[in-house]
Structure 1
Amino acid sequence: MSIDPRTPVLVGIAQSVDRTSEPGQGLSPQEMMAAVSRAAIADSGGHDVAGAIDCVTVVRLFQDSGFGTPFGKQNNLPHAVATRIGAEPKRTLYGPVGGNSPQMLVNYFAQAITQGDHDVVLLTGCEPLRTQARALKAGLKLDWAEDSPEPAEQWPEKTTYASPHEIRHGIAMPVNIYPLFENALGARYGRDPLAHRRAIGELMARFTEVAAKNPYAQLPVARTAEEIITPEGDNRYIGYPYTKYLNANMFVDQAAALLLMSTDAADRLGVPADKRVYLHGNADTHEKILVTERVNYHSSPAVRIGAAHALKQAGVTPADLAHMDIYSCFSSAVEVAADEIGLRHDDPRGLTLTGGLPYFGGPGNNYSMHGIAEVAARCRANPGAWGLVFANGGFLTKHSFGVWSTTPKAFARTDPASYQAEIDAMPSPAFTEKPEGQGTVETFTVVHDKGVPAFALLIGRLENGTRFLAQIHENPGALIDVPVIGRKIQVKPTDTVNIATLI
């Protein structure tokens, strides 16, 4: 079958994990990514590949996403990787914050390759937080600093995910926000709180079973639903209804790399046909950016519209998919995505190939690069089968989709603005920063400090429908495992945060 020589193709995949190194002995991020990049190049089966790479892109690390650099900063991580693997790219790019980044960057570079802007692109990323945390705990000082002749090009778009008002009330970290979605989902499904906790335990127990068999998992341990949801010992509540075992685990030493190139380059470099995986469908969408602007807290119009576009572009339906990796930082992300794509939570095909961010590991913005590698490997092993990657960034905010197959197909890309417009046009509820009077609970969570209830964070509606944020400080633990959504509350503003009480 003849195909446009500019058609982009994924030809190299690699993953790595370190579970065993002693404190201070783990690799620096530069070395982690160089090693996995060499493996991806070797995986392609081509010759003289490193010398043909014209762009190296690194997915942004946590250290540059607001978490700090205790062991020194690097001004050009893509260049640091390139010098170690013998590449001399004309472009070195550092990606944005967001777990959607790996699939979003694949979509972007697939278009760039099609247009002739690039020919061979290496994407890589990692997180060394396990090594970092263990070294800090042991009082060791590592030297990861590295200066390159020129700084990396920075991805131009930067998103502000929360307003100052939201941050004051506790909408700042994912551990406080995804529980808001989870409790809204439980009410939407018509479950009492205990029944919903059991359901999410059963869902995520299936993820642990996949992680237990994955050679690249940071924590390859199968757990029962009861073990996952029971708040005892080290498995304390973080943000109700999530225990520690229901939170993404960022303390990992994991890396991944992908090698993309034009079909012409693949032919020239001798890449075997059985290494090639094609991107048949793609999409990038985002919700209303601020959590307080969302249409509701139990659905995702952007996932529904983005997934439908990518699947339609590929010419398939959810029933045609053989392999799926659904972003899984928290169970609510899985449930919302499954609902919007049209998948059962207990789909026998499985919703993860890695085992999920709480169990396989949550290597920051780079998790979905592992998902892409897993889907590509399954597609290679089952020629003609269809695979789907759903990647999510922020607070269920940004979404990227890829539909993959070994069947050759020319690449197509629709301007995301054409379908994003429908999402942007959806009205948000009126919002006030200074609510006063009676209202109802729209959703909530109980934020914990070392396993002890600290305060309840809630989103409510005044009697006229206006949305607001508030906290409950008086006995927040009383809201655990009892029906709360829809309850009447009294709310008033203060000099710091809005305070609510149950009526």
Structure 2
Amino acid sequence: MALDPRTPVVVGVGQFTERIDDDGYRARSSVELATEAVRAALADTGADPGVVAAAADTFAGLRQFEICIPAPPPLGASDNYVRSVAGRVGADPARAVLEQIGGNGPQQLLTEFAGRIAAGDAEVVVLLGSENGSTLRYFAGREDKPDFTEQVGGQLEDRGYGYEYYMTEYTVAHGLTGAPVQYGLLDNARRARLGLGVADYRTAMAELFAPLSEVAAKNPYSSSPTVRSVAEIAAVGDGNRMIADPYPRLLVARDQVNQGSAVVVMSVAAARRLGVPESRWVYLHGHADLMEQPFLDRENLDVSHAATAAVTEALAVAGIGLDEVATFDLYSCFPFPVFAVCDGVGLAPDDPRGLTLTGGLPYFGGPGNSYSLHAIAETVVEMRSRPGQYGLVGANGGIMSKYSVGVYSSTPAPWRPDGSAALQARIDARPRVAGTRDVDGPGTIETYSVRYDWPVRTGIIVGRRDADGSRFLAVTTDDELVALMSDGDPLGARIQLRCSDGINRAAALPR
């Protein structure tokens, strides 16, 4: 095939992980972790790493958790994370980008800059991400804290936090401030649709995730390389405490990790000029990026139209069917994102091809917004060893708010645009549920979660008003209702609402 010299190819990938129980654990900073990964990715190109670094016109980074809020990082941080890493590897890119929050970011960035390369607007791009959650925890109670502050200055295209896609004052006031409780609402909505009891659904979640832990146990970059059985994942106890219903700890993304990842993507012309062997080249055959409606507007909380459409479109752009995919890595912060894709495209949860190459966020590790950069790295390595086959990466952000998909193969392919814009218009036009902000009177529980991480165990409710069927949020510390939500099954239960200071508070209806 005669390729346009501007065709984008992934030519280098790198990963780095340090575990707190490793010999020589150094409690690195986010910059240091990303630097290790970028060095590995530059070396992985098979060309001179210094030459490739010097040729990079763009470095784009995923926003790490410590700079995801407008407050000083606990141990200090660089004023330009991206350029701090670039400088350490001998690069001085013309453009530095810091992406918004969202686990879809790695695939979205790769698709964006692959498109820019194809358009001639970039030539050599380095994508990078890291999290130093382990370091932050290690020094939390110590006096000998390091100072990771750096003042490097320079150009930076900071795309902002992007919280407006994920939360509002209303949702925050009603306890939707952490990922476990948010996804707990989705998984319990799915359980309601399936008509499963609490114990049966927890077993189904454990059956979905146990095979992921087997992959993690074999992955040298895993933060927790331990095989977990279905029974172990499902059993709540001291070592597997409840985080937010329906999730015990072993069903929750492991965010206190020290991990870094990086990908080098460039044009075919640049790869040839820089001496990158064609054996390192992997092509992005298909891609799609879609957004779901705002959380409370969605007609059905138990599905993801954006994820389903993104996977379907990426496969269509690649010109293949689901049965032709050899490997998958589906974003797995909690069971729901994996179930949503399986439900939507007809992929069996126990498909023999497996649903991860990394080992999943609870076991491999959940390095914030950059997890799927590790998934891309694993997929690229796998595709090099399996010529002509295809690997699919599904990356999720927010409360199933954004979904980005990439289909990779070593088979040469031209850059192809996707039809995400038209698909987005269809999602935006879907029916929406009317909401009522302040509620007084009776209602019904549509879905729920329970926060065990607050001083007082608190129930979080998405409900429907008896008066008009409109949707609302509520919280509860009512003993009877919290007991039902923690130890029983409150789906469909009638409740009494009282609004005070803008917060809807629920109690069990008197018998």
Please report the TM-score for the alignment, with normalisation by the length of structure 2: 0.95
Find the counterpart in structure 2 of residue 90 from structure 1: 94
Say whether the 8 Å CA contact 1:327–1:390 is kept in structure 2.
yes
Find the counterpart in structure 2 of residue 79 from structure 1: 83
**In the TM superposition, what are the counterparts of 1:2-151 in structure 2 within 5 Å?**
2-19=2-19, 20=21, 25-47=26-48, 48-66=51-69, 68-151=72-155
- Determine which of 152, 162, 173 is the counterpart of 2:156: 152
Say whether the 8 Å CA contact 1:438–1:488 is kept in structure 2.
yes
- Determine which of 458, 463, 466 is the counterpart of 1:460: 463
**In the TM superposition, what are the counterparts of 1:390-429 in structure 2 within 5 Å?**
390-414=394-418, 416-429=420-433
Q: Distance in 2 between matches of 1:236 and 1:157?
A: 31
Q: Distance in 1 between matches of 2:147 and 2:377?
A: 30
**In the TM superposition, what are the counterparts of 1:257-268 in structure 2 within 5 Å?**
257-268=262-273
1:488 equivalenced with 2:494 (yes/no): yes
Q: Distance in 2 between matches of 1:310 and 1:432?
A: 37
Q: Which ranges of 4 or more aligned residues in structure 1 deviate by more than 6 Å?
A: none
Find the counterpart in structure 2 of residue 339 from structure 1: 343
Which sections of structure 1, spanning at least 5 residues, go unmatched? none
C-alpha distance after superposition, 1:153-190 (max 9, x if no partner): 21268341211111111112112111111111112122
Say whether the 8 Å CA contact 2:219–2:358 is kept in structure 1.
yes
Q: Distance in 2 between matches of 1:210 and 1:252?
A: 18
1:246 shift after superposition: 1.2
C-alpha distance after superposition, 1:222-262 (max 9, x if no partner): 11122112221132111111011111111001001100000
Find the counterpart in structure 2 of residue 478 from structure 1: 484
Q: In structure 2, do the counterparts of structure 1 residues 207 and 344 end up closer, same or farther at CA, with 3 Å as the change threshold?
A: same
Say whether the 8 Å CA contact 1:181–1:297 is kept in structure 2.
yes
Q: Could you tell me the percent identity over the aligned residues? A: 40
Find the counterpart in structure 2 of residue 173 from structure 1: 178
C-alpha distance after superposition, 1:50-94 (max 9, x if no partner): 121111111111111127511213111121111111112111111
- Determine which of 361, 367, 389 is the counterpart of 1:363: 367
1:272 shift after superposition: 1.2
The AA in structure 1 aligned to 2:36 is A
1:132 shift after superposition: 1.9
Report how many aligned residue pairs link the two structures. 501
Find the counterpart in structure 2 of residue 246 from structure 1: 251
1:36 shift after superposition: 1.4
Q: Distance in 2 between matches of 1:8 and 1:206?
A: 34
C-alpha distance after superposition, 1:339-377 (max 9, x if no partner): 123211111111111111111000000000000011111
Find the counterpart in structure 2 of residue 286 from structure 1: 291
Which sections of structure 2, spanning at least 5 residues, go unmatched? none
The AA in structure 2 aligned to 1:313 is V
Find the counterpart in structure 1 of residue 226 from structure 2: 221
Say whether the 8 Å CA contact 1:446–1:453 is kept in structure 2.
no
1:494 shift after superposition: 2.0
Q: RMSD value over aligned CA atoms?
A: 1.7
Find the counterpart in structure 1 of residue 274 from structure 2: 269
Q: Distance in 2 between matches of 1:120 and 1:220?
A: 34
